[in-house]
């Protein structure tokens, strides 16, 4: 009975109801996007860090991985120390650098990683094979397009360019053995990978035993935090970073996005609440006489309130369902824009779809729809019956 009366009331003013639903859909789409943004960025980064199973990173003291050009010296000694801890299963040293490749009358500059292919966690192979020999190199698609090279080609590679002397510290001829996709690569970034020993030799004596970071896998039954503390105690020249530590530092650096998401989400929820409140209040004011007649016929005050609240909930939920589709479309578009920021990994999603985010947005909207209908309906149902009927008759 209540649902039928609520539906009849909404159909009576179809255009106004439709406009209200569209307004709520826009507000709910923004609310959903902001809820996705506030939780998605952190969750996406966590999934990226764990994508290859490495729970710990070791960086130069006081830095994040690749946050500066600083390197870790004495890689062989640190590796020997790490192997003493039975909780550590895999040790993957990585050296970052820049290479220069002459192509015709121009020189292509690219980021490069020196890795141990058997235990690396920085890329996935798309075609060909890993750089398994000292004279091998793997490239991403952006590098291949920029240089025109393909698997099987041989290229001249140089490192350590001195702009004053216009010379390089090291050069080598390498064979392209594979196409790879770098997990942490930025949009349109040219990137390559070779064996860490090759890149160390090309860097000269000063980089003969250096690495930019270590990535570590810990036994499943071991305590990651205890292992992190052991590393910093045994090797005081480095910072050991767990997933939790990395997320905390990322939260500090990207707190702006979470604050922005909270502000815009609050505004969108408030706008949706105002839309529903305005429509319900106008509808109630137009139906004062009808409501009073119902009360005179013995309809309870609670029955009247429930009917009008159902109208507000119906508008809110209809708008929320429309906003769900609109929110997903806009989230995908906005994510493509934000993901192109320089230096951010392409794999990072600012808007990550999670069922919890949808239920949170829908729950907040449903609650706002209930609150929007309670006050005007209770006020109308509480008016004196005789006085209100007389005033309506005179009017």
- Residue by residue, DSSP assigns 17-64 as HHHHHHHHHHHHHHHHHHHHHHHHHHHHHHHHHHTTS--EEEEETT--
- Token pair for residue 6? 């609520």
* Residue 141 and residue 83 in one domain: yes
Q: What value does the mean pLDDT take over residues 345-353?
A: 72
Domain final position from 236, 264, 281: 236
State pTM to two decimals. 0.70
> Is 111 part of a structural domain of the chain?
yes
> Is 243 part of a structural domain of the chain?
no
CA dist., res. 70 & res. 365, Å (int): 49
> Is 275 part of a structural domain of the chain?
yes
> Is 246 part of a structural domain of the chain?
no
Secondary structure of residue 133 in the 3-state scheme: coil
- The domain of 227 spans 62-236
- Token pair for residue 233? 């105690």
> Is 293 part of a structural domain of the chain?
yes
> Is 258 part of a structural domain of the chain?
yes
Residue 5 pLDDT class (50, 70, 90 cuts): low
Domain final position from 209, 236, 263: 236
* Strand 154-162, strand 167-182: pairing: antiparallel
* Residue 180 and residue 102 in one domain: yes
- Token pair for residue 381? 């149902």
* Residue 26 and residue 136 in one domain: no
Overall domain count for the chain: 2
* Residue 261 and residue 131 in one domain: no
Domain final position from 236, 269, 286: 236
pLDDT digits (tens, 9 = 90+) for 301-344: 777 777 777 777 777 778 888 888 888 888 888 877 776 666 66
pLDDT digits (tens, 9 = 90+) for 234-267: 999 999 988 888 777 777 766 777 777 778 778 8
- Token pair for residue 131? 């750089």
CA dist., res. 343 & res. 199, Å (int): 22
- Token pair for residue 36? 């996705």
Residue 161 has pLDDT above 70, yes or no: no
Check the CA dihedral 167-171-176-180 and report its sign. negative
pLDDT digits (tens, 9 = 90+) for 180-200: 999 887 778 899 999 999 999
CA dist., res. 353 & res. 36, Å (int): 6
Rounded to 5°, the CA angle 170-208-193 comes to: 65
């Amino acid at each position: 009975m209540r649902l039928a009366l609520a539906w009849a009331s909404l159909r009576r003013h179809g255009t106004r109801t439709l406009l209200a639903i569209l307004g709520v859909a826009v507000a709910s789409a923004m609310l959903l996007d902001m809820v996705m943004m506030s939780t998605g960025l952190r969750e996406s980064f966590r999934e990226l860090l764990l994508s290859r199973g490495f729970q710990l990173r070791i960086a130069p003291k006081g830095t994040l991985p690749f946050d500066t050009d600083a390197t870790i010296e004495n890689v062989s000694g640190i590796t020997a120390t790490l192997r003493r801890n039975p909780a550590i299963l895999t040790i993957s040293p990585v050296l970052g650098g820049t290479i220069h490749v002459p192509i015709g009358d121009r020189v292509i500059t690219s980021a490069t990683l020196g890795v141990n292919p058997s235990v690396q966690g920085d890329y996935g192979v798309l075609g060909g094979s890993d750089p398994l020999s000292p004279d091998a190199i793997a490239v991403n698609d952006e590098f291949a397009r920029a240089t025109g090279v393909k698997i099987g080609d041989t290229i001249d590679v140089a490192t350590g360019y001195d702009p004053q002397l216009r010379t390089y510290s090291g050069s080598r001829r390498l064979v392209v053995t594979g196409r790879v996709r770098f997990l942490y690569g930025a949009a349109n970034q040219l990137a390559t990978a070779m064996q860490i020993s090759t890149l160390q030799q090309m860097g000269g004596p000063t980089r003969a035993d250096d690495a930019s970071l270590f990535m570590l896998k810990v036994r499943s039954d071991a305590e990651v935090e205890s292992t992190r503390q052991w590393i910093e105690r045994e090797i005081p020249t480095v910072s050991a970073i767990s997933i939790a530590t990395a997320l905390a530092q990322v939260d500090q650096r990207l707190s702006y996005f979470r604050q922005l998401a909270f502000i815009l989400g609050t505004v969108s929820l408030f706008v949706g609440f105002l839309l529903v409140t305005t429509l319900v209040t106008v509808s109630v004011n137009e139906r004062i006489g009808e409501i009073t007649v119902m009360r005179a016929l013995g309809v309870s005050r609670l029955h009247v309130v429930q009917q009008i609240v159902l109208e507000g909930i119906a508008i809110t939920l209809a708008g929320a369902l429309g906003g769900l589709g609109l929110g997903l479309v806009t989230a995908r578009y906005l994510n493509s824009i934000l993901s192109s920021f320089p230096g951010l990994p392409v794999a990072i999603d600012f808007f990550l779809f999670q069922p919890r985010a949808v239920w949170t947005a829908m729950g907040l909207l449903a609650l706002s729809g209930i609150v929007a209908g309670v006050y005007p309906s209770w006020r109308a149902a509480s008016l004196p019956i005789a006085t209100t009927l007389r005033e309506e008759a005179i009017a």
